[in-house]
Structure 1
Amino acid sequence: MYRPKSTLEQWRILQAVVDFGGYAQAAEKLNKSQSSLNHAVAKLQNMLNVQLLEVVGRKAVLTEAGEVMLRRSRYLTQNVEDLESLAVNINQDWEPEISLVVDLAYPRSLLFPVLQDFLPESRGSRLQIIDHVLTGTEDAITRHTADLVIHMQVPKGFLGEPIAHIEFVLVCHAQHDLASMQSPIDPNELAQHLQIVIKDSAERPDEKSGWLKSENRWTVSQFDTAIDLLLQKMGFCWLPYHRVKTLIDDGRLVSLTVEGSTFKQMTAFLVCPTPDNKGPGTQLLEKLILHHREIDLPSCLD
């Protein structure tokens, strides 16, 4: 097994000498004698057989090799500090890892402010953000595979907080045959055209929602792929309005009106699958998501 020749303390002393401008200043800040700091840095240089500092006038300055070694040493000492901090957090029941499952339809613009607020308070916890769609998102709740889940509905037996309304519109290319049809379009006529659908991310998908009458269907795993196909004048698709608003505004895509359905609105909910086991990190993330929600609550809940 490899045994390091140098110690963390020696690297910390070198950093202090550089950061505080010399041995005397570092000795005062570290509450150590100047001679002990000189000895530590000299021993470090001798063991490595690399000159890290050189005296210019009355000041010790880094050599080129010293600059490289010092920079790398900061990663080392910081990693040790992070590791020790993580141990403290674990002892305080702060989770080393938090998983957040987010339905693909949820606007990421609503999530970014949450993450910006969470980062400085996260105590080094690793955050997993996992994309799911349809019953794949529901599986994360019912199977308790995530700490928090943003889903378009609340499964039976669970509680959820509404955080946003998501509008879906039926769209196709402005030059697609459907775009020139008289509105509202007969659903039977719509069924004669290619439908682009988003693949359910569940292990065992359950197609129990959505208009899936077209026999001619192409399935994709991401909204971006569906939009790319539409821009190639292929098919029609139900998509979140926020994903296609710009394309509709500039005339490349058009929204379709179908008999019995102009658009559909869904509510995004924040669900904690195991509320009795929420750690402090999960609680903080939950609080921030609710703080940044974009939905009007009844006045009695304000």
Structure 2
Amino acid sequence: MHRPKSTLEQWRILQAVVDFGGYAQAADHLSKSQSSLNHAVAKLQSQLGIQLLEVKGRKAYLTEQGEVLLRRSRHLTQTVNELEQLASNLEQGWEPSLIIARELVYPMELLTNALATFLPESRGTRITVVDTVINGTSELIVNNQVDLAICGVPPKGYIAEPLCDLEFHLVCHRDHPLAQMGELEDDRELAQHLQIVIKDTGVNPTQEIGWLKAEQRWTVSNFHEAKVILSKGIGFCWVPEHLIQDEIQSGQLVRLKMKGASTRRIVLTLVVPQRDNQGPASKLLESLILAQHTEATEPLLV
């Protein structure tokens, strides 16, 4: 079994001597004697058989070989520091990873803003964001498979913090026959055309939300795919307003008008499935997600 010739402490001392410009300065910073630092570096050079430092006047300079090895040593000591910090975090209950369920319609920009603020305080916590739709979100909550969940209609018995309202618009391409009809009298005219539907991610869907009366439907995984189909002049779809602003502004997509049913609105909420066992990282991220929404509302109990 190979035994290392050097120690982490020796490399840390070498780094300090270089970073602070000499043995005396490094000794003050490390609260060690200058002679002990001289001895540590001399022993390191002897063990490696390479000169790492050369002293000119009162200052120590790296040799070419020393520059290469010092650079690699910084990665090594940083990794050890991170390992020790991780051990400390785990001891304090700080979660090494978090899983977030995001209802597909929730603006990713808002979640990214919260995650960006979380990053400097994350202590290396790994984040997984799972895009879900309707029953898929509820199933992950009920089965305790996620740490945080942004959902539309939370399962019964779970406390939900309201985040925001989202408005859906009934849209189609400007060249689609529906776009030429003006205001629709009722949904019977819609039912004769192809509807684009977003697939529920639930394993066992128990509820259907929204208008699903079209005789022909195409089901896709996300709104990006739905918009690609719509751009070809095919079908109609209910799409969140924030996802079609550019297409509406450019005139590529048009909002369909139907008496009493041109738009629909849903409330998105934040759920912590295991509130009693929630860790500090999850609590911090929860607060940062809530902070993205300025309106103060009371928690909902469903």
| Same fold per superposition (TM over 0.5) | yes
Partner of 1:189: 189
Unmatched tracts of structure 1, length 5 or more: none
| Number of the residue aligned with 1:217 | 217
- Give the aligned CA root-mean-square deviation in angstroms: 2.1
Match of 1:170 in 2: 170
| Secondary structure at 2:164 match in 1 | strand
- Provide the secondary structure at the position in 2 that maps to 1:191: helix
Partner of 1:252: 252
1:50 & 1:189 partners in 2: Cα distance? Answer: 84
Query: CA contact under 8 A between 2:194 and 2:234: conserved in structure 1?
Result: yes
Corresponding residue for 1:277? Answer: 277
Does the aligned pair in 1 maintain the 2:162–2:268 contact within 8 Å? yes
Q: String of CA shifts for 1:102-143, please: whole Å, max 9, x gaps.
A: 111111222233223322222332222222122111111111
Measure how far apart 1:207 and its partner are. Answer: 4.8
1:204, 1:95 → 2: CA distance?
Answer: 30
Kept after mapping to 2: 8 A contact 1:114/1:288: yes
Partner of 1:293: 293
Structure 2 stretches lacking a partner, 5+ long:
none
- The one-letter code matched in structure 2 to 1:203 is V
Q: Describe the shift of the 1:102–1:251 C-alpha distance in structure 2 as closer, same or farther (beyond 3 A).
A: same
Say yes or no: does 1:179 pair with 2:185.
no
Matches within 5 A, 1:133-172: 133-172=133-172
- Aligned to 2:258, the other structure's residue is in SS state coil
Q: What does the per-residue CA deviation read over 1:73-128, in whole Å, with 9 as the maximum and x for residues that have no partner?
A: 22221221222122222222222222221111111222233223322222332222
> Contact conserved, 2:172 with 2:254, CA < 8 A, in 1?
yes
Report the counterpart of residue 34 of structure 1 in structure 2: 34
Counterpart CA distance in 2 for 1:46 and 1:136 is 62
**2:130 counterpart SS class:** strand
Task: Report the equivalent of 1:268.
Answer: 268
SS at match of 1:269: strand
Identify the residue that residue 117 of structure 1 maps to in structure 2: 117
Displacement of 1:297 in angstroms is 2.7
Residues 62 and 147 of structure 1, relative CA distance in 2, 3 Å threshold: same
Q: How far apart are 1:58 and its partner, in Å?
A: 4.4
In structure 2, relative to structure 1, the CA distance for the partners of 1:167 and 1:71 (3 Å cut) is: farther
Structure 2 residue 238 is matched with structure 1 residue 238: yes
Q: Report the CA distance shift for 1:231/1:66 in structure 2 as closer, same or farther (over 3 A).
A: farther
Alpha-carbon contact 1:118-1:288 (below 8 Å) kept: yes
Partners of 2:286 and 2:102 in 1: CA distance: 13
Deviations 1:193-244 (A, max 9, x none): 2222112222233452122222322222122121122222222211111111
Equivalent position amino acid for 1:172 in 2:
C
Aligned residue for 1:238, secondary structure, equals strand
Could you say which residue in structure 1 is the equivalent of 2:78? 78
Instruction: State the 1:290 CA deviation.
Output: 2.0
- Structure 1, 162-171 or 249-258: larger mean CA deviation: 249-258
Q: Deviations over 1:140-165 (max 9, x none)?
A: 11111111111011211111010111
Q: CA deviation at 1:295?
A: 3.6
Cα distance per residue 1:220-275 (max 9 Å; x no partner) = 21221211222222222111111111211121111112344111110011111111
C-alpha contact (below 8 Å) 1:162/1:295 kept by paired residues: no
What letter is aligned with 2:3? R
Question: For residues 38 and 250 of structure 1, do their structure 2 counterparts lie closer, same or farther at Cα, with a shift above 3 Å needed?
Answer: same
Q: CA deviation at 1:291?
A: 2.4
- Count the aligned residue pairs: 298
CA offset digits 1:13-68 (Å, max 9, x no partner): 11111111122211221122323323322333344444433445543223344333
Q: Aligned partners of 1:289, 1:295: CA distance in 2, in Å?
A: 13
The amino acid that maps onto 1:167 is E
Residue of structure 2 equivalent to 1:25: 25
Deviation sequence 1:168-195 (CA, Å, 0-9, x none): 1111112222211221264222223222
- After alignment, is 116-125 or 258-267 more displaced? 116-125
Compare 289-298 and 97-106 and name the one that shifted more.
289-298
Three-state SS of the structure 2 residue aligned to 1:210 is coil
